[in-house]
Amino acid sequence: MTQTPSSPLPADLPPSIHTAYGYVREGIEVAQGWILSPAAWSQFALLVVAYLVARFLAARFLPKVETLLRPADAGAKGALSEARRVAVRFLPLGLPLLAYVFTGLGENVTRSIFGSGAVIAFGKRVFLLLAARALVNSILKDPFLKVLGKYALMPIMILYTLGLLDPAVLKLSQTIVGAGNIKFSLLSVIRGLLAGSVLFWLGRWSTGQSRTYIVAQETMRPATRELASKAAEIAIFGLSFLLLMNIIGMDLSTLAVLGGAIGVGIGFGLQRIASNFISGVILLLEGQATVGDFVELDGGEAGTIVKMTARAAILETYDGRWIVVPNEDFITTRVVNYSDSGSANRYEAAFSVSYDTDINTIPDLINAAVAKHPDILDAPYPPDCELRGFGDSGIDFAVEFWVNGLDEGDNKYTSDVLFLIWNALKDNNIEIPYPHQVVEFKNGLPPVAKA
């Protein structure tokens, strides 16, 4: 096999292997130069001194700083207490950052004396690598950020520490990928993926914070709070998208092509998604149904709206089931809202009395008994007992009453009223009939056969 004059490796090996071998040889030569250089040993000594001083100061002062920052009450709430807890979490960065600062001071000294500072500059990069490692292992708690730090930040810091980051960036910027007329460098793609990941996390976090703040504004109507929350979410993610396009270097005019593709998608397969999104915006603007309302749909589904998304509303029934109802159903079908901002609702309880009863006394007796319930309203109408008909076994009555709320879940209005009716009738010796039949023999009883 033939060999190139500059490399002892066979010439027919891939260029990448020759390049890697060149970097290895260069690293060995640099290491040999450092070992034989008095200036390099002086810089090594300064690195050791800077690390020991940083370790001494960190051991002595960081525990005091932690005691000062940590809130005295572990359960304390508020922005200041939360900021102090966050500051405590960043204390593991103290040691490597102190070493980095002291190394920087030593670098100025060595460069002024020896005119060289390559070793101490490498040491500074090592301390930054240790700071990044502490950030990923001890500070980041969010699973997404932890994965991003482990598989993105750490490789970048390792390349930076070894002095290979600039060559890697140059190589990635020269590698072009794309489809059709759209071309990107591989560096732009990687930068876009990293920036998109960070912006997505920031957008999700910002949306959660803004939603928490908006929901806490009790003076706003529920529909207004929901609309403000959705508007904030759209604004945050829209801004994140524009920032991402700017970071990867995409001309915003090219979004016209993307908009055309989305239009075709809506025309062929996304009509229902678009319809549900627009219906959700209409619901939020009109406020006909919002979070907290108890609604019954035309199909028989009934429950309390616990969440409204861009596509659907989530109903929770009183037996604990969640029903996902598309927003479009609230616009195109009949919806009964039983709890529009706590409006009163009417119910009725039916009962019967015996035919031996003086029915003229029943309305006043029952109205007075039902009115004793603390949740029964006098407005818009007080309890109203009505004669409904003459049944097979007794005379049928029903009492209508109004309450604030629903006769479901924790509320047992109808049950309570029936108990009041039962006790009132029993106290006045009024019989509550039960079903019975009377059999009449027109020609007398049939003869009984004698044994």
Cis omega before residue 380 (within 30°)? Answer: yes
Is there a domain that residue 21 lies in?
A: no
- In the listed set 313, 340, 367, which residue is the last one of a domain according to the structure? 340
For residue 393 the two structure tokens come to 């076994």
- Average pLDDT in the 329-356 region? 81
Question: Does pLDDT of 140 surpass 90?
Answer: no
- Average pLDDT in the 264-275 region? 66
Same domain for 254 and 199 = yes
Is there a domain that residue 52 lies in?
A: yes
Q: How sure is the predictor about 223, in pLDDT bands with cuts at 50, 70 and 90?
A: low
Q: pLDDT value at position 5?
A: 46
Burial 218-227 (b: 16+ CB within 10 A, else e): eeeebbbbbb
CATH assignment of the domain containing 322: 2.30.30.60
- Average pLDDT in the 278-282 region? 77
Same domain for 140 and 50 = yes
Residue 310 and residue 226 in contact, taking contact as beta carbons nearer than 8 Å: no
Residue 397 and residue 387 in contact, taking contact as beta carbons nearer than 8 Å: yes
Is there a domain that residue 131 lies in?
A: yes
Cα torsion 297, 303, 308, 314: sign: negative
Question: Does pLDDT of 399 surpass 90?
Answer: yes
Q: How sure is the predictor about 371, in pLDDT bands with cuts at 50, 70 and 90?
A: very high
- In the listed set 304, 324, 340, which residue is the last one of a domain according to the structure? 340
For residue 319 the two structure tokens come to 């037996």
Domain extent for 397: 343-427
- In the listed set 244, 271, 298, which residue is the last one of a domain according to the structure? 271
- Average pLDDT in the 74-79 region? 66
Same domain for 289 and 233 = no
Q: How sure is the predictor about 1, in pLDDT bands with cuts at 50, 70 and 90?
A: very low
Distance between CA atoms of residues 281 and 231, nearest Å: 10
Strands (E), 117-205: 176-179, 182-185
Question: Does pLDDT of 32 surpass 80?
Answer: no
Residue 404 phi, psi dihedral angles, 5° rounding: -90, 105
- Average pLDDT in the 105-120 region? 68
- In the chain, the number of structural domains is 4
Question: Does pLDDT of 259 surpass 80?
Answer: no
Is there a domain that residue 10 lies in?
A: no
Is there a domain that residue 262 lies in?
A: yes
Is there a domain that residue 336 lies in?
A: yes
Same domain for 144 and 55 = yes
Same domain for 124 and 209 = no
DSSP label at residue 139: I
Same domain for 400 and 347 = yes
Question: Does pLDDT of 222 surpass 70?
Answer: no
Same domain for 318 and 230 = no
Q: Pick from 288, 283, 289, 431: which is nearest to 356 by CA?
A: 431
Same domain for 336 and 307 = yes
More confident residue, 83 or 21: 83
Is there a domain that residue 315 lies in?
A: yes
Question: Does pLDDT of 388 surpass 60?
Answer: yes
- Is the pTM value of this prediction over 0.85? no
Question: Does pLDDT of 6 surpass 60?
Answer: no
* The amino acid at 271: Q
> Percent of the chain scored above 70 by pLDDT?
75
Question: Does pLDDT of 112 surpass 70?
Answer: no
β-bridge mates for residue 401, sequence order: 347
DSSP label at residue 435: -
Question: Does pLDDT of 7 surpass 60?
Answer: no
Out of 11-20, 203-212, 389-398, 435-444, pick the least confident.
Answer: 11-20
Same domain for 381 and 320 = no
Same domain for 112 and 96 = yes
Same domain for 209 and 124 = no
Q: pLDDT value at position 54?
A: 86
How much is the mean pLDDT over the chain?
78
Residue 3 and residue 12 in contact, taking contact as beta carbons nearer than 8 Å: no
For residue 141 the two structure tokens come to 């708690």
CATH assignment of the domain containing 366: 3.30.70.100
Is there a domain that residue 332 lies in?
A: yes
Burial 1-40 (b: 16+ CB within 10 A, else e): eeeeeeeeeeeeeeeeeeeeeeeeeeeeeeeeebeeeebb
Same domain for 146 and 41 = yes
Q: How sure is the predictor about 351, in pLDDT bands with cuts at 50, 70 and 90?
A: very high
Question: Does pLDDT of 340 surpass 60?
Answer: no
